[in-house]
Structure 1
Amino acid sequence: MTTPLMSLTWTDHVTGRRGFLVVDQLVRGVSSGGLRMRPGCTLDEVASLARGMTMKEALHYNPEGRYVPLGGAKGGIDCDPRDPGAYELLVRYLRAVRPYIESLWTTGEDLGLTQDLVDRAAAEAGLVSSIQAVFPLLDDEAAARRRLADAFAVEVDGIGLDGLVGGCGVAESALTALDLAGVPYAGTRVVVQGLGTMGGATARFLTRAGLTVVAVGDIKGTISNPDGLDVEALLAARDVYGTVDRAVLRPGDLELPADAWSAVDAEVLVPAAVSYAVDTVNQERITARWIVEAANMPVLPEAEELLTARGVTVLPDVVVNSGTNAWWWWTLFGDIGPDADEAFTHTRRSMRALVEQMLARARADGTTPRAAAHAIVADRLPVIAERFGWYR
């Protein structure tokens, strides 16, 4: 990994807990990347995520588009989001890093945090917006901010559009891989580990495409049914952390241990919860032909090597889960309007083209999809730098 442009560690004067900010790279003086909160969060983890954001931004570069990719950054706080003092800690962190958010880091929700919570804490910390650093780059700031606010107000089946576009992108990534392999949707089984915003939306889109979700995992354990789960019922019974109320389970649904998701027979596995969920031990139990990384860094590099050796294709997070971030900027810069159908159509088209390009590059180079994604980024970064510059 290259050395990031800027890296800092903050220590909370009240609790002693630590927070981190890593700016991997700037484009036009601005970077983009979410803020996560989880117990055990580390500077190295945040640095890896920030580098991933640089890649996600570059992968969505379209010379004809209004959205110009930004640099990559990431924030993290070492705290359980369920802790009674988590919100106050979040506000203090945002106050501490306020100068960076005002000038060069645009941020939003990530693991453990919702956008509503980030927005409320940002306002309390004295910020205009968690993405205010990008405002000077907009042709018409008022119209752009109104467009994004209108998009966040859109709901589909009672769920905010912002909570669906990422899962739409993950699902389209999986469907593209199936199409290229000539595998029909009907009869294709899916396991989704993590039923939060990203995992839940992915499960919904894959089910509606005709695939069968046979297992989901949450913090309480694994719910499985070889004949297929009632995904809509499970989603409706989630709490804000993605934990399913077991009262909605049907007679044929099985309650299995927390780590059982890795051993459920399926063609597609979608790890959509925490980082490092697939390790060198549990990878041996995975039967899936494709692992579609909805979470950030869910497969350890050593595990990915072993999976690749036995013919499992890992579709990497830097491509697969990049749809949410791209949707923010497509909307803000005006490539799309605040409309659900337009958002889903644009997301599907963009993700399908990106996955097809990545898999074609992997075949041509004789490498993994992740290596191919890195190669595409390496080609694009100098082009972006030449056109826009890192700092201006």
Structure 2
Amino acid sequence: MTSNRPHAGTPSADGRPPLLSVTWTDHVTGRSGYLVIDRLVRGVSSGGLRMRAGCTLDEVHGLAKGMTMKEALHYDPAARYIPLGGAKGGIDCDPADPDAYGLLVRYLQAMGPYIERFWTTGEDLGLTQSLVDEAAADAGLTSSIQAVFPLLEDEDKARARLSDAFGVEVDGIGLGELVGGCGVAEAALATLDRDGVPYAGRRVAVQGLGTMGGATARFLARAGLKIVAVSDVRGTIANPDGLDVERLLAARDEHGTVSRDVLRPEDTKLPGDAWLAADADILVPAAVSYCITPDNESRITARYIVEAANMPVLPAAETLLAARGVTVLPDVVVNSGTNAWWWWTLFGDVDADAEQAFAKVRSSMRALITTMLDRATTERRTPRLAAHAIVEDRLPLIADTFGRFR
């Protein structure tokens, strides 16, 4: 069953209810799936599809709102890429469940009319892009991003460019798996630079060693920072002298779980939440939402929290952290690189080239971080509220230029 009634509990990025809210029940398993379209620009929205046990409609609403913000934050009138509206999909299922793939295909079939016309989607928590592509084909869809094709000047060249980009590998890892972590790492590095903090010796703890967390750890380690703790579903791996990041990344399975067989004698195995209290300067929650709460924020000793995951810090916890002088770099800025890279590539702002992609992600992230932190300082806001203020400035410009569709 589906419902397209707007959900009143979560306002959109500009204060209004989302345009569309759909709840779907799978007739085979009884599991639920969701789609929220927060806003359309030129009739199209953008946002990934996540799969996790316990995924809720409210969670998907918040994520869709965040996608509207991410799109607006990357608006550049001189670019070919024109920001889209924000949307998000979610499926309440463990991606490792034997029923997960069939459920994914049936969800995409049910959401087919929206994907064909209004919603471009791709990988998110629990799903890889290759799996989404495979399931979309099995669901009879042309592409998970086919709604954007009518907006392209040359669809064939654009699709070939994006396909080529996903075929690019760097050190044996696909470019599409690296650009998001490149953006997260650059957000952290830009903040350190702004505060005059040297990279050498800075300690980092990362929650989640999947696509985003793994790439972030790699880029930060290569910049000279020390990764002292990482976590996955089996617990936390720690070493105060620094973990061998490349060794751990090479020992991951498809779900980002590290084989403990590769640990060195000096590496220690700790409980799953030990990453939170690691003796670190930077904390990177890169796995699940709502993991930093008022009940556990006091365990954090880090000076910076860099939100690689969507919505990992609850608002009440952020208030307490800010009072302690902890800087929280918000997800809408920090993890927006993957989404932007998709569209830069498709619209032709960058080619299917790793160096171009990394350079564009780094320069854009540094510009956003600088603008956000400058505004936060000047207006005495948190970085998150400063990012929201930037969005509030840009959404009317986008609407005036490209029209409103609600």
Out of 83, 97, 100, which is 1:69 matched to?
83
Aligned-pair distance for 1:345?
0.5
Q: How does 1:289-308 map to 2 (within 5 A)?
A: 289-308=303-322
3-state DSSP of counterpart to 1:21: strand
Q: CA deviation at 1:389?
A: 1.2
2:401 pairs with 384, 387, 392, which one? Answer: 387
CA–CA separation in structure 2 for the residues paired with 1:354 and 1:53: 16
1:229 and 1:196 mapped to 2: Cα distance?
A: 16
Separation in 2 of the partners of 1:263 and 1:173?
Answer: 22
3-state SS of the aligned residue for 2:288? Answer: coil
Q: How far apart, in 1, do the equivalents of 2:224 and 2:160 lie?
A: 36
2:191 maps to 1:191? no
Partner of residue 71 from structure 2, selected from 49, 53, 57: 57
Q: Measure, in 2, the Cα distance between the counterparts of 1:221 and 1:85.
A: 25
Quote the Cα distance in structure 2 between the aligned partners of 1:264 and 1:72. 35
- Distance in 1 of aligned mates of 2:304 and 2:246: 24
Structure-1 residue corresponding to 2:6: none
Letter in 2 for 1:154: V
What's the secondary structure of 1:164's corresponding residue? helix
Post-superposition shift, 1:277? 1.2
Per the TM alignment, residue 387 of structure 1 is displaced from its structure 2 partner at its CA by 0.3
Rounded to whole Å, the distance in 2 between the matches of 1:262 and 1:89 is: 33
Which residue in the other structure is 1:155 paired with?
Answer: 169
- Select the residue among 363, 380, 384 that pairs with 1:370: 384
Deviation per CA, 1:163-208: give whole Å up to 9, x if none. Answer: 0000000000000000000000001000001000000000000000
Residue 344 of structure 1 corresponds to which residue in structure 2? 358
CA distance in 2, matches of 1:257, 1:184: 30
Partner of 1:241: 255
Q: Quote how far apart the aligned CAs of 1:252 are.
A: 0.8
Residues 17-36 of structure 1 aligned to structure 2 (within 5 Å):
17-36=31-50
The aligned residue for residue 141 of structure 1 is 155
Residue number in structure 2 paired with 1:263:
277
Give the C-alpha shift of residue 391 in structure 1: 3.1
Instruction: Please state if 1:168 is matched with 2:177.
Output: no
2:323 paired with 1:325: no
The match for 1:216 is 230
One-letter amino acid of the structure 2 residue matched with residue 53 of structure 1: M
Of the candidates 44, 59, 64, which is equivalent to residue 58 of structure 2?
A: 44
1:105 is aligned, of 119, 134, 156, to 119
- TM-score when scaled to structure 1? 0.99
Partner of 1:177: 191
Partner of 1:89: 103
Using the TM superposition, give the Cα deviation of residue 268 of structure 1 relative to its aligned residue in structure 2, in angstroms: 0.3
Q: Secondary structure at the match of 1:66?
A: coil
Q: Which residues of 2 match residues 122-137 of structure 1 at below 5 A?
A: 122-137=136-151
Partner Cα separation in structure 2 for residue 301 and residue 239 of structure 1: 33
One-letter code of the match for 1:293? E
Q: Alpha-carbon deviations, 1:60-90, whole Å to 9, x = none?
A: 0001000000000000000111110100000
1:116 maps onto 2:124 in alignment: no
Q: Which amino acid aligns with 1:237?
A: A
Instruction: Find the residue that maps to 1:244 and give its secondary structure.
Output: coil
Displacement after TM superposition at 1:108 (Å): 0.2
Counterpart position of 2:5: none
**Equivalent residue in structure 2 for 1:228, among 224, 237, 242:** 242
Q: Distance in 1 between matches of 2:302 and 2:295?
A: 15
2:297 to 283, 290, 294: 283
Give the whole-Å Cα distance in 2 for the aligned partners of 1:306 and 1:124: 47
- List, as ranges, runs of 4+ consecutive aligned residues in structure 1 with deviation greater than 6 Å: none
Q: Distance in 2 between matches of 1:217 and 1:82?
A: 18
Query: Distance in 2 between the 1:212 and 1:234 partners?
Result: 14
Q: CA deviation at 1:15?
A: 1.0
- Alpha-carbon distance between aligned partners in 2 of 1:238 and 1:282, rounded to the nearest angstrom: 28
Identity of aligned residues (%): 74
**Cα distance in 2 for residues equivalent to 1:15 and 1:149:** 33
For the pair 1:272 / 2:291, whether they are aligned, the reply is: no
1:281, distance to aligned residue in structure 2 (A): 1.7
**Partner SS state of residue 190, structure 1:** strand
